[in-house]
Structure 1
Amino acid sequence: MSGHVPFSVRVHYRAGVVPRNGRLVRELPFRAEIPLAIRSVACADLEVAAVAVLAKDRGRYEYLKHGSRLYVPVRTNWNPDAPPMDAATAIANIEAGRELDRRNGVANPFAHLGPRWMMAADRERAVEIDRMALRSVAWDELDDVRSEAARLASDFLIDDRGRLLRASPGPHWTSFNVWSVEPNECLYEFPRGVPAAFHWSRDDEAFAYLRTLRSRGRQDVLGAIEVADPSVLPDRDAANVAYGLLNGDIHRSLVAPALKSGSSELAELGDRVVHALSVLYGADPAVLADPRFRWAVPHGLDAPSTRDLVGFVEDVRLLVEAMRGRAAGLDVEGWSEATSALHDHSIRRWDEYEAPRLSTDPGPPDLSFEGPIP
Structure 2
Amino acid sequence: MNAHRLSIDVPYVASVVPKGARNPRDVVFRERVVLDLRVVPARDLPEAAHARDLPGSGRREATWFGNDRDLWQPLRDERDARDLAADQALAALASGASRMGWHRNPFLQTGRTPIRADRFPKAEPYDPKAVRQFLHDERARTLANVARLAADFLLCEDGRILRRSTGPWWRVTSNDGIVLKNGGFELPGSSVHQAFGGLRLEDARRYRGIRHPDCPGRTSGSLEILDPASFPDLDARETALLIADPVYAGWFRDSGRELGGEADVAARLLVGRMAELRGCDEPAFLMDRAGMPWPQGVEPPSVLELAAVVADMRAYFDTFMGDFRKGHPLVEHRTCRQRFEQAMAGCLARWDLMEVPRLPDTDVAPELPAFAGPRP
TM-score (norm 2): 0.81
Q: Spell out the pairing of 1:157-176 with structure 2 (5 A cutoff).
A: 157-176=154-173
Q: 1:121 to 1:155 in 2, by over 3 A?
A: closer
Deviates more, 1:237-246 or 1:32-41: 32-41
2:253 paired with 1:256? yes
Give, as a single letter, the amino acid of the residue that structure 2 aligns with 1:331.
H
SS at match of 1:348: helix
CA gap 1:42/1:134 in 2 versus in 1, 3 angstroms: same
Instruction: Quote the RMSD (CA, aligned, Å).
Output: 3.4
Deviates most, 162-171 or 93-102: 93-102
Q: Quick one: distance in 2 between partners of 1:256 and 1:122?
A: 30
1:134 matched to 2:131? The reply is yes
Q: Given the superposition, is the C-alpha separation of residues 272 and 78 from structure 1 closer, same or farther in structure 2, using an over 3 Å criterion?
A: farther
Following the alignment from structure 1 to structure 2, what is the Cα–Cα distance between the partners of residues 122 and 86? 28
In structure 2, list runs of 5 or more residues that go unmatched: 365-376
Deviates more, 1:8-17 or 1:285-294: 285-294
- Where does residue 11 of structure 1 map in the other structure? 10
Aligned position for 2:305? 308
Counterpart selection for 1:231 from 218, 229, 234: 229
Match of residue 203 from structure 2? 205
SS in 2 for 1:234: coil
Match of 1:296 in 2: 294
- 2: CA distance, partners of 1:78 / 1:154: 27
What is the CA distance between 1:181 and its match in structure 2?
0.8
Distance 1:203 1:327, change over 3 A: farther
- Structure 1 contact 247–295 (Cα < 8 Å) conserved: no
The equivalent of 1:185 in structure 2 is 182
Q: Deviations over 1:38-94 (max 9, x none)?
A: 221111221111222334696321111122322111122599xx4211110111122
Q: Which residue of the partner structure matches residue 67 of structure 1?
A: 68
Range that drifts further, 228-237 or 14-23:
14-23
1:111 alignment counterpart: 108
Native 8 Å contact 1:192 1:244 kept in 2: yes
Aligned to 1:110, what secondary structure does the other structure show? helix
2:151 is aligned with 1:151:
no
Counterpart position of 2:369: none
The corresponding residue for 2:371 is: none
Q: Which segments of 5 or more consecutive residues in structure 1 lack a partner in the other structure?
A: 364-374
Q: Residue type of the partner of 1:358?
A: L
Determine the C-alpha separation between the residues in 1 that align with 2:349 and 2:78: 35
- Structure possessing the higher radius of gyration over alpha carbons: 1
Residue range with higher mean Cα deviation, 56-65 or 83-92: 56-65
C-alpha separation in 1, matches of 2:322 and 2:100: 50
Deviations 1:261-281 (A, max 9, x none): 225454354235224314413
2:353 aligned with 1:352, yes or no?
Answer: yes
Q: 1:101 to 1:361 in 2, by over 3 A?
A: closer
Residue type of the partner of 1:227? I
Instruction: Describe the shift of the 1:251–1:303 C-alpha distance in structure 2 as closer, same or farther (beyond 3 A).
Output: same
Inter-partner Cα distance in structure 1 for 2:152 and 2:362: 35
Letter of the 2:40 counterpart: V
Change (3 A) 1:268 1:327: farther
What are the Cα deviations for residues 219-267 of structure 1, in whole angstroms up to 9, with x where unaligned? Answer: 2122222322222213221111100011322222x22222222254543
Of 219-228 and 25-34, deviating more is 25-34
- Matched residue type, 1:33: R
- Greater alpha carbon shift after TM alignment, 63-72 vs 125-134: 125-134
**Matched residue, 2:51:** 52
Structure-2 separation of matches of 1:358 and 1:210:
21
Distance 1:119 1:267 in 2: 32
| CA deviation after TM superposition for structure 1 residue 32, in Å | 2.4
Query: Mean alpha-carbon deviation: is it higher for 212-221 or for 309-318?
Result: 212-221
Give 1:154's aligned amino acid: A
Residue of structure 2 in register with 1:40 after alignment: 39
The amino acid across from 1:11 in the alignment is V
CA distance in 2: counterparts of 1:295 and 1:251, whole angstroms: 18
Aligned AA (1:270)? A
Query: How many Å separate the matches in 1 of 2:351 and 2:144?
Result: 32
Cα gap change, 1:184 to 1:90, in 2 (>3 Å): same
Alpha carbons of 1:111 and 1:28: their partners in 2 closer, same or farther (altered >3 Å)? Answer: closer
1-structure distance, mates of 2:54, 2:118: 44
Q: Secondary structure at the match of 2:323?
A: helix
Separation of aligned partners in 2, 1:241 and 1:48: 28
CA contact (8 A) 1:9 1:35 kept: yes
The 8 Å contact of residues 261 and 332 in structure 1, kept in 2 or not, is answered as no
In the alignment, the residues of structure 2 paired with residue 19 and residue 300 of structure 1 have an alpha-carbon distance, to the nearest angstrom, of 30
1:159 deviates by: 0.9
CA distance in 2, matches of 1:78, 1:183: 25
Q: How many angstroms apart in 2 are the aligned matches of 1:73 and 1:122?
A: 29
